Structure 1
Amino acid sequence: EVREAEAAFRQSGRINEILVDEGSIVKKGDLLATLETDTFSQALSNLDAEIAVANAELTKLNSGTRAEEIALAQANVRQTEAIYRNAEEDYRRQASLLSSGSVSEKLVHGARTTRDVAKANFDAASSTLTLKRNGARREDIAVGQRRVQAVQATRSRLETALEDTRLFAPIDGVISSRNKEIGALVTPANTIFSISIRSSIYVRAYVSEPMLGRAAVGTLVQLKTDSRDKIYQGRVAFVSPRAEFTPKTVETEDLRSDQVYRIRIIVTDADSALLQGMPVTVSIAPTTATVR
């Protein structure tokens, strides 16, 4: 009886490469197979570009406005102020002429509109200059920081998903079955390999009730296969508390003695010649039991 571990991808995808086959001896951490990664690689490139943009914007917010930008804003304020002053003077002149009938109301209305537009432009330019002098608000910087953190978190999750396209051996052992081929679409629910744990080889045997006293946990036993003369050493590691194959009605002592109990024996000097399902003869002095 050889215990097995199952190996499966933690990520869905199409198998790109299989590096081992049935019978391969593997160590924990060995690379067994990979999935296609084109989609993940492209997504990582896109995220790297997005992170670069987000970091640049955050750096700009933290650095404040450059002197050149402030100078341009000041020039715009002076220009819009001059336009506004001229429009204000023109409007006043037109309004004074209206009382004497020298100009029409339509002309005065047009001058007023021109002045109002110029005033709005001047106010907007002044506000822009104030903002540039004050630099970015703390709220804007916080928003920029959160954006950088969010994109970096997305990239971290994608890196984990990319790492999960590589399947590693979870334990030392031998590949006992290979269940998928290159090109197959798989999910985490699909077992790709079964790995026999060679360090834990057990023999399952059955003993009758009268033999239980000689098959207690810890009892040393000897084992022999039909295929070779070597004697293996073993130790009883488990005795089932329940009888098996028990008749429905147990009335006599003779019938009770026909009951059997399952025991598990760990082979202490196992080698590669012991295979799963192989018949073994177990010797517990002074009697023997044959396991099939």
Structure 2
Amino acid sequence: MKRALAALLVLAIAAGAAWWLDLPTRLGFARTASGGLTLYGNVDIRQVQLGFRVSGRISAMTVDEGDAVAPGQVLARLDAQPYLDAVHAAEAQVANQAATLAKLEAGPRPAEIAQARAQLAERTADLANAALAFDRSRRLRPGGAVSQAVLDQNQSAKDMAAARVDSAREALRLLEQGTRAEDIAAARASLQAAQANLASARTSLADAQLHAPASGVVLSRVREPGAIVAPSDTVYVVSLAEPVWVRTYVAEPDLGRIHPGLAVEVTTDTAPERPYRGRIGFISPVAEFTPKTVETPELRTDLVYRLRVVVEQPDTALRQGMPVTVRVPQAGARDG
């Protein structure tokens, strides 16, 4: 009986060891005789939904579904007239503020200063006449030749003339001192605000054209000319051609055999004899459960680490979502 139990225990240990050694193969990770790894994954699906950053009416759409697009290519246009009008208004405001600033920086003209001096001389002469009239009335008042009312009127006229002289003198002093630094700073700030508004208007005008962010293929044409769109509306869906990423997974026992930058080969089922060169560009720092694309029912609790392989010089034969094989020769050997 003891011998039978011992035999069963040995068989269980052997079966467990065989199951563990075969785990990478059943997960889709195979070790080669040369010490490399064979991983299985898919080309990442990389799409972008394109829309305008401003609202308006679509005036033209230049590409259709299935068309290849180049970086910066114009895909659609909005009616730009409202944005042109905003640019013209902003340009006029900038010109107005620039003229105001130039006027303040230049200060008063020589003719304005000469006019102020002449006005001061005129006010000074008026004060002299008013003073003579007051002195004459003051001397005649004791004899009764001038009434008290006349004397009071001449006194008031003299005081008013003196006040006008002071006002003219201060006005001349202000002109001679020039514009206040605070007024110039305020005008300069107003000009900068107007320039910022102009830049914003020009940006909105440029945003009335929809450009392709990268090379790719149009998957969906969502809108048509004449449609009114908001900034959040999708106009095109484009599949990005580059860079091409392959998503694959590595089991925890083989995690130490790879590293970012490690050269790999990527092959497809269509042309396995023509491998693509690539490099491991990303290794997830967090383990995750085996994804359904590679798991089997009995291995749902096993953990793996996600990899991103960047394919060098891809072509149109590598299509998004396509299953591929990733071979890691001499895994663990870092490039010199």
Indicate yes or no: 2:104 matched with 1:104.
Answer: no
Counterpart-to-counterpart distance in 2, 1:270 and 1:132: 75
- The 2-side partners of 1:159 and 1:183 are apart by 23
Stretch of structure 1 that moved more, 73-82 or 16-25 = 16-25
Q: CA deviation at 1:90?
A: 1.6
Deviation at 1:77, TM superposition (A): 0.9
Matched-pair contact (CA < 8 Å) for 2:290–2:300: no
The CA distance in 2 between the partners of 1:265 and 1:66, in whole Å, is 72
Q: Distance in 2 between matches of 1:83 and 1:243?
A: 101
For the structure 1 residues 60 and 202, does the alpha-carbon distance in structure 2 shift closer, same or farther, using more than 3 Å as the test? Answer: closer
Map residues 190-209 of structure 1 onto 2, 5 A cutoff: 190-199=233-242
Deviations 1:77-98 (A, max 9, x none): 1111111211222233233333
Alpha carbon RMSD of aligned pairs, Å? 4.2
Q: What is the distance in 1 between the residues matched to 2:192 and 2:300?
A: 71
Indicate which of 211, 215, 226 corresponds to 1:168.
211
Relative to structure 1, the CA distance from residue 151 to residue 87 in structure 2 (aligned partners, 3 Å threshold; closer, same or farther) is same
1:52 match: 95
Q: CA deviation at 1:19?
A: 1.9
From the superposition, tell whether residues 47 and 121 of structure 1 become closer, same or farther in structure 2 (CA, over 3 Å).
Answer: farther
> How has the CA–CA distance of structure 1 residues 113 and 182 changed in structure 2, closer, same or farther, with 3 Å as cutoff?
farther
- Gapped runs of 5+ residues in structure 2? 1-42, 252-262, 327-336
> Counterpart of 2:197?
154
Partner residue, 1:179: 222
Task: Identify if the C-alpha distance between structure 1 residues 116 and 16 changes in structure 2 by more than 3 Å, giving closer, same or farther.
Answer: farther
The aligned residue for residue 42 of structure 1 is 85
Alpha-carbon distance in 2 for matches of 1:107, 1:100: 14
Q: Aligned match of 2:165 in 111, 122, 125?
A: 122
**What is the aligned partner in structure 1 of residue 292 from structure 2?**
244
Query: TM-score, length-normalised on structure 1?
Result: 0.70
2:269 paired residue number: 223
Post-superposition Cα deviations, 1:115-166, rounded to whole Å, max 9, x if no partner, equal 3332222222111111112222222222222222222222222222222222
Residues 80 and 198 (structure 1), Cα distance of their counterparts in 2 relative to 1, 3 Å cut: same
SS state of the match for residue 143, structure 2?
coil
Q: Normalization by structure 2: what TM-score?
A: 0.62
User: Which piece of structure 1 moves more, 146-155 or 23-32?
Assistant: 146-155
- Separation (CA, whole Å) in 2 of partners of 1:106 and 1:276: 107
Evaluate the alpha carbon distance shift between residue 54 and residue 276 of structure 1 in structure 2; reply closer, same or farther with a 3 A threshold.
closer
CA shift in 2, pair 1:164/1:83, >3 Å: same
Match 2:68 to one of 15, 25, 40: 25
Q: Does 1:256 find its partner at 2:263?
A: no
Q: What secondary structure does 1:28 align onto?
A: coil
Tell me, what secondary structure is at the counterpart of 1:99? helix
More strand by share: 1
Distance 1:77 1:20, change over 3 A: same
Contact 1:232 1:270 in 2 (8 A): no
Task: Give 1:172 deviation, angstroms.
Answer: 0.4
Task: Report the alpha carbon displacement of residue 173 of structure 1 after superposing the two structures with TM.
Answer: 0.9
1:74 corresponds to 2:117: yes
Tell me the distance in 1 between the aligned counterparts of 2:118 and 2:50: 69
Identity score, percent: 31
Q: Does the CA contact (< 8 Å) of 1:223 and 1:234 recur in 2?
A: no
Kept after mapping to 1: 8 A contact 2:266/2:324:
no
Q: Secondary structure at the match of 2:75?
A: strand
Matched pairs, number: 263
Name the CA shift for 1:282/1:117 in 2 (closer, same or farther; >3 Å): closer
Runs (4+) off by over 6 Å: 200-205, 234-238, 257-269, 274-277, 280-284
